[in-house]
Structure 1
Amino acid sequence: MKTHHIEVQKFKAASNSSTSGMMTFKVDALIREREPVDGIEPSSLITMTEANARVLMALLKTQLSEMDSRKPKSRHGRHG
């Protein structure tokens, strides 16, 4: 498995698919291969600034709200 270090430079757009339940984020990013650390499961790293983390949070909230609005009301988890 290849591992990478992905540094998000800028979030450009977000969208979601009601049919697949997937979210897509268009980003500018620096991507470089990363050597796995011995004895630790190989993983890729995603890093971003605090400002970009706040943009991501806002985009996630918006996309989740859009997904929730398309679901039937009975799936929103009524308490009874």
Structure 2
Amino acid sequence: MKTYDIEVQRLKSARHDMGQIEFSVDALVLPRPARDDGVASSRISLPVEHARTLLMLLKQQLAELDKLQPRSRRSGRA
């Protein structure tokens, strides 16, 4: 598995379509060197201000998706 360091430089927009939420971002993506610990994972880093904005956008998109659900499915019961 290839791993990357992804640095989010700017959040542009968020939208949802057909059950997926899509964020447009400007990001710097660099290959991440393999580590000896055996755990292969990519890492996303972003400033706290962007993280707060991302959280607000995600909450907004999820709230819009919840509005589209029938009332019987909004109660939180799975």
- Same fold (TM > 0.5): yes
Once the two structures are TM-superposed, the CA of residue 38 in structure 1 deviates from its matched residue by 1.3
- Find the residue that maps to 1:40 and give its secondary structure: coil
Question: What one-letter code is carried by the residue in structure 1 that aligns with 2:24?
Answer: K
Q: Is the 8 A contact 1:8 1:48 kept in 2?
A: yes
Question: Which ranges in structure 2 are unaligned for 5 or more consecutive residues?
Answer: none
SS in 2 for 1:46: strand
Aligned residue number for residue 55 of structure 1: 53
User: How many aligned positions are there?
Assistant: 77
Distance 1:30 1:61 in 2: 25
RMSD: 1.4
The percentage of aligned residue pairs carrying the same residue is 43
5+ residue gaps, structure 1, are: none
Deviation at 1:40, TM superposition (A): 2.9
Give, in angstroms, the shift of residue 78 of structure 1. Answer: 6.0
TM-score by length of 2: 0.91
Residues 33-72 of structure 1 aligned to structure 2 (within 5 Å)? 33-72=31-70
CA–CA distance in structure 1, aligned partners of residues 66 and 38 of structure 2 = 37
Residue aligned with 1:38, SS: coil
In structure 2, relative to structure 1, the CA distance for the partners of 1:78 and 1:53 (3 Å cut) is: closer
Runs (4+) of structure 1 exceeding 4 A deviation are: none
CA contact (8 A) 1:7 1:47 kept: yes
- 3-state SS of the aligned residue for 2:5? strand
Letter in 2 for 1:51: E
